[in-house]
Chain A
Amino acid sequence: MEVFLQQLVNGITLGGVYALVALGYTMVYGIIQLINFAHGEIFAAGGYMGVILISWMVAQGYPPFVCLGVALALAMGYCALLAMAVEKLVYKPLRSSSRLSVLLSALGMSIFLQNGLMLTQGVYDRAYPGEMVQGGFEIGGAMVSYMQVVIVGVTVFLLVALNGLVFRTRIGKAMRATAQDKTMSALVGINASRIISLTFAIGAALACAAGIMVGMYYGSVRYDMGFVLGVKAFSAAVLGGIGNITGAMLGGLVIGIIEVFAAGYISSEYKDVFAFIILIAVLYFRPTGIMGENVDDTRV
């Protein structure tokens, strides 16, 4: 029971992070039907930005929570700018070309960004400053570290904020309208280009927060950490029904929990395989995902 509870706590922590990254995939796919391969790299860039800013501010002697808050805000802004640059540079000019070209261009961008990180930050792991958040407490035999509390807290805050943005504001309405029908939304005066740019920026900011939290949770970041996590998060988006925001949150949570349990009870060596198997099974048996988004025949 204790082990079960402990796994559940760990699974929820990890699942929240997957949900944050999955949102970026699902929002971009919902609006321009593109698997944004570079999204995993934005996540990794976020992790690096976090380590860069936090180590600098810790060296200047600021208190840990100030460091974390400021670094989170700055890094999210940075990743939003990075994603917008990528979108403007390679995706926007290709908006009317074949899907294969855009996908290949996204793949190229992913390799480009990953190696850019490697060139500027080095091949080796970069460690987060260790003394950020320490300690923890116990519930029913399961250890919950304060780090996990911070991660889950930030994740929940961001998810609620995103929900508010998408479902309660004018911008959110414009985003949903563009995702449904680009021509029609342009006719009622929505600037689709700007909305797409904004979607990339929001997705990137969320992925960046996830990158920082993964970095703090595991203690270090690596230039190629975005690849496997990106595929898992994409699986989460598919599981939840691609294009569906609530679905991505749920899918992330489910994938995170399944992964932790599978690693604990089945085999830790094969833990990366389970997300892929879920992805394949979902696409085979229920391509619309749990939340059931409409899928026309160009998608599946």
Chain B
Amino acid sequence: MTTPASRKLWLGYGLAMIWLFVLLWPLMGIKPEGLEFAESFAVWARVAAAAAILLAFWQAKQHGFLDAALLPAQAASALLARAAGRVPTWIWLALLAAAMVVFPFLTERYAHDVAISVLVYICLGLGLNVVVGLAGLLDLGYIAFYGVGAYTYALLSVHYGLSFWLCLPISGAFSALAGCIIGYPTLRMRGDYLAIVTLGFGEIVRIVLNNWMKLTNGPNGILGIKTPDAYWWKDGAFTHIWLSSLEQLYFVVLGLAVSTVVAVYRLNHSRIGRAFEAVREDQTAAELMGVNTLGIKLLAYALGAVLGGLAGAFFAARMRFVSPESFTFIESAMVLAMVVLGGMGSIPGVVLGALALVALPEAFRGFELYRMFVFGGVMAVMMLFRPKGLWPAKRMGARSEERD
């Protein structure tokens, strides 16, 4: 069946594929040794086939050919969702908590490693979520606070031998300070200017870490950072131990992540959280209602920075090594991608985003090279099809979706 609409669609497809070949072939096919077609054609054919299949499915869905299969599936999932809704939330939370506690005893070292990474990124994502999701300030240099937290603990641990638990709040405080220093001059800007300036600040922090040889040892990084310690009941007395095995570290970061989730949840439902959202939705209206917008923005920035700093201190303790390489722009982009993918302003969304962006690539280790490539593509396409994320926040105003 060829309606004019579908004819136009496939014509567009044909043109797009020709365009794609024109863009793809010079990159892959022109070599100093001579011209080459087979490889680029193979790649192109795969993309073209995949696009054709997707288009065909989409058209079939548009015309209702898939209803026979889709409608029962939709009904079933709606039924499941209703049934799940009957179970009180605390049961789900208890089940989740039990699963988190049992997890390290059922799995291997490798899984622990991945789980620790996921939890660290959850902390980071939640911190950025306060800035981007709640207050609506696009921060592209967020990883700088992670770096400040990590270096604070690293330096205090190596030079003064201070314990992790003492340094954790200090790291948070230093990051908050950095957040205020960076935040104060930038927060009068809006939207996209803020984005580019925070990006600039993030880069400045990295360049300083890279070049301030006396303090940070430059690109070589800092070695010999202590892991967290604790007193544990052993042989009838409390003895001092180092929490250096992966299971122990897992529980440390689990505690950190759970506290972060609780803190952000409480923040979200507080007066300040509402002020954040008011500023996000309409700054002028918020100001008229008596919200101190500059102060609230600075607070959002500082709170986000604290959470990033805490995660950073743990990162330094777990790696026992820090170097500026861990705090590049691409890390900022990745944390941002988690927040966006999961759903801005939504806590379960950020958790889901961190799982998707850290754990999934581990499952496809063979495609390591393609990871950022796919991230970028997904981030761009996500804005077209699901701008609110996988698990959207409940309290997201209509205004934030309009143009500001």
Contact = CB atoms under 8 A, between A and B. Distances in A.
Are A and B subunits of one complex?
Answer: yes
Interface of A: 33-35, 48-49, 52-53, 55-56, 58-59, 78, 81-82, 85, 90, 93-94, 96-121, 227-228, 231, 234-235, 238, 269-270, 272-273, 276-277, 279-280, 283-284, 287, 297-300
Given A78-B23, A98-B402, A231-B199, 12 more contacts: A52-B27, A52-B30, A81-B19, A90-B384, A103-B192, A104-B138, A104-B340, A109-B376, A114-B372, A235-B200, A280-B185, A298-B190
A35 B373 CA distance: 21
B207 interface: yes
A273 B404 CA distance: 31
Contact of A300 (B27, B32, B193): B193
Contact of B200 (A90, A96, A112, A279): A279
B387 A101 contact: yes
Contacts of B33: 59
A287 B140 CA distance: 20
23 contacts: A35-B195, A35-B196, A85-B19, A93-B384, A99-B191, A99-B404, A100-B400, A101-B383, A107-B140, A111-B376, A115-B372, A116-B373, A119-B370, A120-B27, A120-B28, A238-B196, A272-B207, A273-B208, A276-B203, A279-B196, A280-B200, A284-B185, A298-B191
A114 B387 CA distance: 23
Contact of B403 (A99, A121, A276): A99
Contacts, number: 177
B249 interface: no
A78 B26 contact: yes
A270 B207 contact: yes
Contact of A115 (B185, B195, B197, B376): B376
A100 B138 contact: yes
A161 to B, nearest CB: 24
Q: Which of B193, B336, B400 has the most CB of A within 10 A?
A: B193
Interface string B376-394: 1111111110010000000
Contact of A110 (B208, B376, B381): B376
Nearest to A100: B138
Nearest to B211: A269
B375 interface: yes
A280 B193 contact: no
Nearest to A51: B32
Interface in B165-200: 185-186, 188-193, 195-197, 199-200
A105 B196 contact: no
A117 B190 CA distance: 32
Given A105-B379, A120-B28, A228 B372 contact: no
B192 A99 contact: yes
A102 B383 contact: yes
Nearest to B27: A120
B292 to A, nearest CB: 18
A112 to B, nearest CB: 3
A280 B380 CA distance: 27
Contacts of A94: 383-384
A116 B203 CA distance: 23
B188 A298 contact: no
Nearest to A279: B200
Contacts of A81: 19, 22-23
Q: Which of B20, B208, B372 has the most CB of A within 10 A?
A: B372
A231 B196 contact: yes
B376 A276 contact: no
A269 to B, nearest CB: 4
A112 B376 contact: yes
